[in-house]
Amino acid sequence: MLYCVEMTVNLPASLDPKRAEEIKAAEKARAIEIQQSGKWPHLWRVAGRYSNISIFDVQSNDELHSLLSSLPLFPFMEIQVTPLARHPSAI
């Protein structure tokens, strides 16, 4: 199943900058791991925002939730998920 996922990060101003950098480094490592598994085939930055638009290719809603909630920045994210279906005119 394909999903379009928009993730927007909202780090609190009160978060210690050193801790923020640690979380971001862990986030990058986890994102790379998921991409290498083939479950996260597309990742695009939204210009001018701390946000991305991604395509996930997973077996179920539960698997998508598990992957998203495994991201270290998950507690600081606003996430919008759109399930995708093949368009009849797609070639």
The verdict on residue 36 lying in a domain is yes
The range of the structural domain enclosing residue 73 comes to: 2-10+19-84
Can you list the alpha helix ranges (DSSP code H) found in the chain? 17-36, 61-69
Can you list the alpha helix ranges (DSSP code H) found in 37-76? 61-69
The verdict on residue 90 lying in a domain is no
pLDDT, residue 43, reads 98
- Residue 77: strand pairing partners: 9
Q: How many domains does the chain have?
A: 1
The verdict on residue 89 lying in a domain is no
Q: What is the pTM of this model?
A: 0.93
What average pLDDT values come out for the chain (91 residues) when binned by 10 residues? Answer: 98 97 98 98 98 98 98 98 96 91
CATH number of residue 30's parent domain:
3.30.70.1060
